[in-house]
Structure 1
Amino acid sequence: MTISTSAPNGWLPLEDALHNALSHVQPVVEAEAVMVGDALHRVVSEDVVACVNVPPADNSAMDGFALYASDSQSALPLQVVDTQLAGMPLREVKLEKGQAVRIMTGALVPNGADCVVMQENTTRTDTDVVINKPAMPGENIRRAGGDIATGATVITAGTQLTASHLVLLASMGIASVQVFRKLRVGIIATGDELKTAGETLASGQIYESNRTGTRALLAAEPVEITDFGIVADDKTALSEVFTNAAHTQDLVVSSGGVSVGDADFVKELVASQGDIGFWKIAIKPGKPFAFGRLGNAVFCGVPGNPVSAFVTTQQLVLPIIKRMVGAASEQVIKPLTIKATLTTSLRRRAGRKEFVRAHMQKNAYGDYDVVPLAKQSSGVMTTVTQANCYIILPAECSEIPEGNSVTIQPFSLLETQ
């Protein structure tokens, strides 16, 4: 799987790294039936075809009166002969000219009626109704199959189900849906200096946080996570964990140990049990990212620094997972990017695409301004929590003056304050 690059330093541009990684992973093929209520975020394995019309019959879109549209052209009162509520069966008797039926939203349209006049456009007496505004045939009537027709493909294979998809499925009376099985993902952290939250730190030790971050970033994906815990910088111990993960997982995400330190054994062990496709990508933060295979599992090695691990999981691991869970190619994660005006100048060393933590907000004209945060170290996670977007700087860029337009990647689609 060795992937070559023409870059003199051997670092792959992010776009090339992602393209190559996606071309070397395969989606799961096993499928299962799950209840619609449990199918959020799952990926459908086959087209979903409507087995009923939605709505199943002509019904009223308004509270009002069902009648002949031609009768609405006259100021003569119409005899109100019945009331039709939602859920009631239809009268067998056909509506006659000069008659109207009081009707509620969602109720079946009486036989013969070809429009519904909203009650605000009528004047009602005890037995009659006067139409104050003429109506057109079909007005305020939701036709049978107007939303979904029997036999129509409503969800295509490879779609990752959202809340709106579940509502759609339920509206057709579908109780279960065929989806690809969940992806088995193993997460590992390596390093003698790492301790689990709640434990007491000795001199030189730090709390491990990357497994928590990975689990949180993957929460909206159809995955089953196995946490292999913290593994010391010991070849034998790490090899045993890797061997176990290689035989039980579809994807292994390991943090730390992929740099060039004397105790960084991850790259060496992965190469011995599988192979490394590429190592080091031209982004900041996150250069020491490794991709390859660990036995039968796909392997992603993210850096140990928390921000670097966070960024590479967002930009590389998540798209890889999207492909592996069976999401259609066009659905592979493409984060939203927009333009914003830089409110302070930026200077940096060119050479790597950079994700600068920043804060965006709307200005008085309804456009977005963005200001980079002062601290950009890959170990300073507080700047990620203080930021609400990344400024994306191209690799060749070394300086951007204040007032220029830049590309930003918002953390959320919600309105930013």
Structure 2
Amino acid sequence: MAANPWLPLQDALNTLLAAAPSPTESVNLPLMEALNRVASQDIIAPINVPPCHNSAMDGYVMHADDAKAGNQLPIVASIFAGDTNEHVIGRGECARIMTGAPIPDACDAVVIQEDTERTDTHIVIMETAESGANIRQTGADITAGHCVIRAGTRLRPSHLTLLSSLGMATVDVYCPVTIGLMATGDELKSAGETLEKGQIYESNRIGVAALLNQCQVNLIDYGIIADRPDAIRTALHTASQQCDLVISSGGVSVGDADFIKDVLAELGKVAFWKVAIKPGKPFAFGHLNKALFCGLPGNPVSAYVTTEQLVIPLIRHMQGESVNAESHRQLLPATLSVSIKRRAGRLDFQRATYHTDEHGKLMVTPHRKQSSGVMTGIVEANCYMLIPAEAEHLQAGDNIMIQPFSIWG
């Protein structure tokens, strides 16, 4: 039996990631501009969080020896969050304290207000509180000098919130990757132009750009390139001089007007062509001068899927993010709601919808439109259902892995 000429997805991903250069330049940005950028160095906490002992609840602060049920204590002060006064609370006294307010020196217990009865000037403690009760200790969340974010982490809103809570106004991140984007095909027209017989509107550049912009890249749009070797050669050469990665769509299959692979071999090097996935088999990868090159299929669903499954992990790696072929996307187990019969041979990313049934079980149903030219199958779905390459028959009730629609693992 002849060997399968199509490269398995994991092998293709490993090849892509191995070819990705590591970033070397970084820039210091305000936190407001750092969302989805990648930290270029370990970030060390400059302070403790909390910076001082503070109250975890609204209540009354005192010495723990006085926090006994039945004790009556005078209220000698009120302490609010942000209070900078040096309150002195003696033995047999207490102070009204609010959540987040600093704990006075020598005090070591907070009795929550629900466990007290109050008059105008005194409280009676109804429930005993132990030493340390309802107090957030200095550095309980973060200790000064501790690494809070590792280099290679893509900064999410939670990371930026954390850095701001540490008093940090800026962060060092890797410089963005510059990506050139183009589409090839004499049948393609831009939106807004009039279609002639046999022509279609080009949509891959818009979809791919939208996916890539989530990675905070610099995009250069080279537009639609005619199906002529000289035009493709010129466009690829120009892009390779200006970009870190060049992405084209169309022209990578086996048609008489599919010139991308031949021009790539002429100007650079073809690392592989054809990946054992469906949709998206005709995917090309190689080098153009100092730039990397990804050739996407022309069908819109195929271009979309290969961008998510192959190009996005490559870009994340080029940006310095810690990612590998096994971890770049979230997978969840689900139960198939219908039976499926298919031809084995390629890992199939079927567009599907998952939901939780009345028993809390995660169910998945494939979309009825699975053509690689039908984008409604993705628009109306919320996940990919991954059918293994060797599977020919799947029964309703079988377990199957799904990949929710998100580029982040």
TM-score range, shorter chain: over 0.9
For the residues of structure 2 that align with 1:289 and 1:115, how far apart are their CA atoms? 65
Question: Could you tell me which residue of structure 2 aligns to residue 297 of structure 1?
Answer: 291
* Comparing 10-19 and 401-410, the one that deviates more: 401-410
For the residues of structure 1 that align with 2:127 and 2:246, how far apart are their CA atoms? 67
Cα 1:412/1:295, change in 2 over 3 Å? closer
Q: 1:14 aligns with which of 9, 13, 25?
A: 9
Q: 1:371 aligns with which of 359, 365, 379?
A: 365
Question: Could you tell me which residue of structure 1 aligns to residue 200 of structure 2?
Answer: 206
Alignment of 1:189 with 2:183, yes or no, is yes
Alpha carbon RMSD of aligned pairs, Å? 1.6
Question: 3-state SS of the aligned residue for 1:164?
Answer: helix
Question: 3-state SS of the aligned residue for 1:73?
Answer: coil
For the residues of structure 2 that align with 1:246 and 1:91, how far apart are their CA atoms? 65
For the residues of structure 2 that align with 1:226 and 1:317, how far apart are their CA atoms? 16
CA contact 2:61–2:94 (8 Å) conserved in 1:
yes
For the residues of structure 1 that align with 2:338 and 2:83, how far apart are their CA atoms? 65
* Comparing 165-174 and 364-373, the one that deviates more: 364-373
Give a deviation string over 1:104-125, Cα, whole Å, max 9, x none. 1111111221011111111111
| Mapping 1:14-413, distance limit 5 Å | 14-91=9-86, 94-329=88-323, 334-411=328-405
Question: 3-state SS of the aligned residue for 2:67?
Answer: helix
For the residues of structure 2 that align with 1:146 and 1:91, how far apart are their CA atoms? 22
Cα 1:409/1:296, change in 2 over 3 Å? same
1:330 to partner: Cα distance: 5.4
Question: 3-state SS of the aligned residue for 1:79?
Answer: strand
Cα 1:379/1:329, change in 2 over 3 Å? closer
Give a deviation string over 1:336-373, Cα, whole Å, max 9, x none. 21222222211111111111111222112111222222
Give a deviation string over 1:271-327, Cα, whole Å, max 9, x none. 111101000011110000001111111111110000000110111001101110000
1:331 to partner: Cα distance: 9.3
CA contact 1:348–1:399 (8 Å) conserved in 2:
yes
CA contact 2:13–2:325 (8 Å) conserved in 1:
no
For the residues of structure 2 that align with 1:295 and 1:332, how far apart are their CA atoms? 29
1:76 to partner: Cα distance: 2.5
In structure 1, runs of 5+ residues without a counterpart are 1-5
**Paired positions, count:** 407
- Give the ranges of 4+ consecutive aligned residues of structure 1 lying more than 3 Å apart after TM superposition: 329-333
CA contact 1:90–1:110 (8 Å) conserved in 2:
no
1:74 to partner: Cα distance: 4.0
For the residues of structure 1 that align with 2:55 and 2:25, how far apart are their CA atoms? 44
CA contact 1:222–1:325 (8 Å) conserved in 2:
no
AA paired with 2:244?
D
Give a deviation string over 1:213-261, Cα, whole Å, max 9, x none. 1111112212111111111112222211111110110111110011111
For the residues of structure 2 that align with 1:392 and 1:210, how far apart are their CA atoms? 23
For the residues of structure 2 that align with 1:38 and 1:332, how far apart are their CA atoms? 30
AA paired with 1:125?
T
* Comparing 329-338 and 134-143, the one that deviates more: 329-338
Question: 3-state SS of the aligned residue for 2:148?
Answer: strand
Cα 1:301/1:216, change in 2 over 3 Å? same
1:73 to partner: Cα distance: 1.3
Question: 3-state SS of the aligned residue for 2:224?
Answer: strand
CA contact 2:69–2:127 (8 Å) conserved in 1:
no
For the residues of structure 2 that align with 1:259 and 1:374, how far apart are their CA atoms? 26
AA paired with 1:204?
G
For the residues of structure 1 that align with 2:125 and 2:266, how far apart are their CA atoms? 83
Give a deviation string over 1:13-36, Cα, whole Å, max 9, x none. 111111111111112211110111
Instruction: Give the TM-score of the pair, scaled to structure 2.
Output: 0.96
Question: Could you tell me which residue of structure 2 aligns to residue 3 of structure 1?
Answer: none
For the residues of structure 2 that align with 1:7 and 1:325, how far apart are their CA atoms? 39
In structure 2, runs of 5+ residues without a counterpart are none
